[in-house]
Amino acid sequence: MSNTDTLNPEGNSMRDAWSIADDVTYLNHGSFGPSPCVVEQARQAWTDQLERQPMNFFLRQMEEALTEARESLATFVGADADDLIFVDNATYGMNIVAASVELKAGDEVLVTDHEYGAVMRIWRRVCKQTGAQLVVRKLPQPFVSANETAADFLEGVTDKTKLIVVSHVTSPTALTLPVKQICHGARQRGVQVCVDGPHAIAMTPLNIRQLNCDYYVASCHKWLSAPFGTGFLYVAGRRQATVKPPILSWGGSISGNAPNWKDEFNWVGTRDPAGFLAVPAAIKFLERTGIDQFRESTHQLAEYARLQIDEAFGMGDIPAPDSIDWYSSMIALPIPTGNEEQPREGHRDPLQDSLWEQFRIEVPIVHWQRRRFVRVSCHLYNCRADVDRLTDALRTLIR
């Protein structure tokens, strides 16, 4: 398949590369990104290999295969393979960080007001257990420049700040935050940084070495389209000695390799590692398509969604400035609140259910700062007709 034939936001010639049901308009890759068929096949092939001879696979093949998969992923995200471990998802990785960073009464953990709900719950609990304080820094809007946004956020750092937790791409507002500048400023101040990056992998250029953060957590099942249940945790060498595994098992190499910090995480009891081993297939799929073309095409579609939905409702005050520097393949757009009560945290907005039940459209309706947003995710199987269908459905349902 050629790039010119497939990367066309006005058509959907790549939809056949996925097994998504024909009657579904799927605009939620940012939450649960289905894998292309070739990635599904790669995962199944690894499971088949395991089932044919489990002893041979676990004792003689798995460790080397995981190393090769980790090396492929490390190259893609600009990190050293020795600094990465596979985890089930970003939330799992964030819990490892939360259990490993030493906090005491009076310490502060600094976050933005755009962070993911599960991440906030994790750090609220840790702060409650340790006596530390979770400090939420409100980012001023509208955003003007990356440097100004980072500088304003870093003004929240005090001599009590031990850790910054910041999204690379925010979940509720779909904003690309200036994490490079934030990490640089944090290092100058002697503060650790954990970047929450599940939406950044593949959607935005990433070089973890250049960020020089202490921790980076991500899910591979989103924009990279690797199998569900795949993610990674990056830990800088200076922090590896203090990282604590959430599950204790044998904690050593089963292939006789020299001990290292990853051992405690590689063998956590018996499980099927096929999803992790299929991550290179997901990387190859995007690279064959053209990663730059993927980003350009999906951003163009997100731009189209911005125009159509803003024209339909005229809400204005869109969180993301109209630039690929601030949003890429996903955009959160304000819509009228309607007459319904705001759902409790973790519960769906009735509008989201109505979009599915009446129109077979999957898209999240997000509440943030007492406002309601539709968060549109665009991948290679989407096209303008999907956005038009969503816009028409929203017009019908919001009166």
Q: pLDDT, tens digit, for every residue of 33-43?
A: 999 999 999 99
pLDDT tens, residue by residue, 336-371: 986 666 666 667 899 999 999 999 999 999 999 989
Distance of CA 228 to the CA centre of its chain: 12
Whether residues 192 and 212 fall in one domain? yes
pLDDT for 337? 86
Would you state the pLDDT for residue 320? Answer: 76
Domain boundary among 258, 285, 312: 285
User: How many folded domains does the chain comprise?
Assistant: 2
Q: In this structure, what CATH number is given to the domain that contains residue 266? A: 3.40.640.10
Task: Verify that 226 and 98 share a domain, yes or no.
Answer: yes
Specify whether 238 is located in the same domain as 369: no
Neighbouring-strand partners of residue 192: 163
Instruction: Return the pLDDT at 347.
Output: 72
Q: Are residues 184 and 215 in the same domain?
A: yes
Give residue for tokens 């719950």: 121
Q: Is 119 exposed, middle or buried (0-12, 13-18, 19+ CB in 10 A)?
A: buried
CB 237 within 8 A of CB 219: no
One domain for residues 169 and 295: no
- 97 and 167 housed in the same domain: yes
Asked if residue 294 and residue 280 are part of one domain, the reply reads no
pLDDT more than 70, % of the chain? 93
pLDDT for the residue numbered 339? 63
User: Measured on CA atoms in the order 23, 27, 28, 29, is the torsion positive or negative?
Assistant: positive
Q: Are residues 130 and 268 in the same domain?
A: yes
Domain check: are 116 and 172 in the same one?
A: yes
Domain hosting 323: range is: 3-38+290-397
Among the candidates 250, 285, 320, a domain finishes at: 285
Cα dihedral sign, 153-154-155-156: positive
Same domain as 146, residue 56: yes
In tens, the pLDDT along 211-256 reads 999 999 999 999 999 999 999 999 999 999 999 998 888 776 666 6
- Reported as a single tens digit per residue, the pLDDT across 48-86 is 999 999 999 999 999 999 999 999 999 999 999 999 999
Average pLDDT, the chain: 93
Among 232, 252, 285, where does a domain finish?
A: 285
Which residue in the block uniquely carries the two structure tokens 């953060």?
A: 213
Q: What is the pTM of this model?
A: 0.94
